[in-house]
Amino acid sequence: MDARQEICLLGPTGSGKSTFLRYINHLERFDGGRIKFDGEPIGYGQRNGKLHETKPREVAQQRRGIGMVFQHLNLFPHLTALVNIIAAPIGIRKIPKSQVIVRAH
């Protein structure tokens, strides 16, 4: 299995946790700084010394390696926490259920 890192963001309501996660997934544009995932800029690339926005297809490819779980938001209430977590890797990435369950635990 490849090396993975999990990071937890904690802070009071209104401190910018969700906004930061939206920036990481390029769901919202930011106007300063840079965010990199695995050394690659998220949502922006550099060409001739200038930043340019990445094409939607490339952004979608970058998002495949990033996961987010929000407390209460967008979870299916009729499913357990485990089933909510494994649904996307199984349904979208077609990873075998046995592998996904081990990683989810």
Q: Which of 7, 93, 51, 17 is nearest to 42 (CA)?
A: 51
Return the residue matching tokens 């970058």.
Answer: 62
Give the chain's length: 105
Residue 56 confidence class, pLDDT cut points 50, 70, 90: confident
Residue with tokens 């046995």: 98
The pLDDT of residue 70? 62
Instruction: Please give the average per-residue pLDDT across 12-28, as a whole number.
Output: 87
The candidate with the shortest Cα–Cα distance to 42, out of 21, 25, 22, is: 25
In 3D space, the residue among 29, 30, 22 whose CA is nearest the CA of residue 73 turns out to be 22
pLDDT of residue 3: 62
The secondary structure of residue 49, as a DSSP letter, is T
Backbone φ, ψ for residue 11 (5° rounding): 170, 165
Band of the pLDDT at 1, cuts 50, 70, 90?
very low
